[in-house]
């Protein structure tokens, strides 16, 4: 009787190799911990991206990590926006670590993925995120929000940051929509879908009248 190779063996080996690289960055051999931190990083970053950008990041991942990445994804509800402090609390809860440990853990995953993905891929992803969030992912703990009478200015800055982020998302989506993907055929509607997604992003921020 001829033995058949395990069709999932290669996918499992590749995922283990990626986890080993990230575990080295985290300084641990605790695979359940590595899994929690990687899964949390993937989900939180994914949900801050537009649909188009999220799919491009997913294409960089090996099969098993791609399944983890897409688990629970709701494309109609992204991108979600909230302060960096909430990102830290969500990361801590998802990875079951303390908030003070989030910058180190998040930056370790970022460094590991940057080494494993195509050159410049994470730079492109981080460019779509607000500066305060990039700081967290790079291991810099965000400063506490001001509690002085300057709070209204702080709120205005947050609102401006959201508007700039929305415009950046819309422009990125449109630019990708104009790209001819290798597996796309003329008239496939890729550009039209990108325009619709950009329109939805701008509507969500009140940049264009409804």
| Residue 2 in domain | no
Query: Same structural domain for residues 94 and 175?
Result: no
Q: Which two tokens stand for residue 88?
A: 């830290």
Domain that holds residue 28: 14-143
What residues contact 137, with CB distance under 8 A and at least 6 apart? 45, 106, 107, 110, 126, 129
The CA-atom distances, in angstroms, between 29 and each of 26, 35, 42, 202 are 9, 11, 20, 44
Pick the last residue of a domain from 143, 170, 195. Answer: 143
pLDDT-flagged residues of the chain (< 50)? 141-152, 154-155, 210
Q: What is the pTM of this model?
A: 0.68
Q: How many domains does the chain have?
A: 2
Pick the last residue of a domain from 116, 143, 170. Answer: 143
Q: What is the pLDDT of residues 57-90, one digit of tens each?
A: 999 999 999 999 999 999 999 999 888 899 999 9
Q: Give the DSSP H or E segment for 110.
A: helix 102-116
**What's residue 190's pLDDT?**
63
Quote the DSSP letter at residue 148. S
Q: Which two tokens stand for residue 90?
A: 């969500």
Q: How many CB atoms lie within 10 A of CB 207?
A: 13
**What's residue 177's pLDDT?**
65
Contact criterion met (CB below 8 Å) for 72 and 147:
no
Query: Same structural domain for residues 178 and 122?
Result: no
Query: Same structural domain for residues 130 and 172?
Result: no
**What's residue 135's pLDDT?**
87
């Amino acid at each position: 009787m001829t033995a058949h190779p395990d069709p999932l063996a290669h996918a499992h080996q590749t995922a283990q190799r990626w986890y080993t690289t990230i575990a080295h960055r985290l300084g641990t051999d605790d695979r359940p911990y590595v899994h929690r931190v990687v899964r949390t990083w993937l989900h939180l970053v994914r949900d801050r991206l537009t649909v188009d950008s999220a799919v491009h990041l997913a294409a960089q991942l090996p099969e098993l990590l791609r399944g983890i990445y897409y688990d629970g994804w709701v494309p109609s509800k992204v991108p979600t926006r909230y302060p960096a402090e909430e990102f830290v609390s969500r990361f801590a809860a998802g990875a079951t670590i303390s908030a003070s440990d989030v910058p180190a853990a998040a930056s370790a995953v970022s460094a590991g993925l940057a080494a494993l993905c195509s050159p410049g891929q994470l730079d492109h992803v981080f460019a779509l995120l607000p500066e305060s969030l990039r700081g967290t992912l790079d291991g810099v703990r965000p400063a506490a929000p001001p509690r002085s009478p300057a709070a209204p200015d702080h709120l205005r800055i947050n609102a401006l940051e959201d508007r700039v982020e929305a415009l950046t998302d819309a422009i990125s989506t449109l630019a990708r929509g104009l790209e001819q993907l290798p597996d796309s055929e003329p008239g496939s509607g890729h550009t039209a879908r990108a325009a619709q997604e950009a329109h939805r992003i701008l509507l969500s921020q009140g940049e264009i009248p409804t």
